Amino acid sequence: MPRLSEVIAELDALWPPERAEQWDAVGTVCGDPDAEVTRVLFAVDPVQEIADEALTLGADLIVTHHPLYLRGTTTVAAGHFKGRVVHTLIKNDIALHVAHTNADTADPGVSDALAGALDLRVTGPLVPENGLGRICELDPPQTLREFAERAAKRLPATAQGIRVAGDPDATVRTVAVSGGSGDSLFDAVRAAGVDAFLTADLRHHPASEATQHSPLGLVDAAHWATEWPWCELAAAQLDEISDRHGWGLRVHVSRTVTDPWSHHSSSGAPN
């Protein structure tokens, strides 16, 4: 079986840490480089539910998309929920490795996985300078309403579901996709001239301004749902690496929904 350091070297080759944004916190959070790895669990969030799942599964390594300590810390005391995760992992010899913005800009990366989940044909990056996002084509075209329903069916179910801005009967032939928060990308989306933009965490003012600029359709999904397909892509990549090296790793993808929103109540019509 491979050592943790050997597995991490391969993961860093897939998602080079130097490609991460300067503000990001990627790489190995905890783990003994010389420890053997037999089972790996992929997940979006390094929360207690995922640590407990890894323990039950017998995983030696968790790979998550989101960092545990994005803004740093001065303590890992178990009285805090993040410290409790660290204690669970270290006490049970479970390593944690993070690939965040370095996985967003990878090729293939987070947005490729999102496009693949919706069976879209990728034609290029949305932001060529750093490889963020993807421009895709639908074949055959759909209405914005149909495309949103497609996203609702193919992405993991969440309390938020799918929100749409724009004419629901407008024809969609080309789509920009970006896993995770995407409302900083509207300039690139407009420059791409696409019919719709699928992403997450769209705020009121950027979304309102975007719909005033052009007939662009907006499809807003839950942040977690747009990034979860990457876990399946990443797991398949590690499976291939394991086969190539004869490691015999057992690779799993968590189906635990760690999206923070737990319920959705539709509001009445405005007065």
Please give the annotated binding residues for a divalent metal cation, written as ranges: 65-66, 104, 223, 227
Cα–Cα distance measured from residue 126 to residue 182, given in angstroms and rounded to the nearest whole number: 11
Residues paired with residue 221 on neighbouring β-strands, in sequence order? 200
**Structure token pair of residue 82:** 């993040």
Backbone φ and ψ of 158, nearest 5° = -135, 165
124 neighbors 89 (Cβ within 8 angstroms) = no
Residues within the annotated binding site? 65-66, 104, 223, 227
Query: How many C-beta neighbours within 10 Å does residue 141 have?
Result: 13
11 contacts 95 by C-beta, under 8 angstroms: no
What's the rounded Cα separation, in Å, for the pair 132 and 226? 14
Distances (CA, A) of 85 to 6, 46, 52, 61, 89: 24, 8, 9, 13, 6
- Contacting residues for 199 by C-beta, under 8 A, at least 6 apart: 176, 177, 178, 179, 180, 181, 182, 183, 185, 219, 220, 221, 226
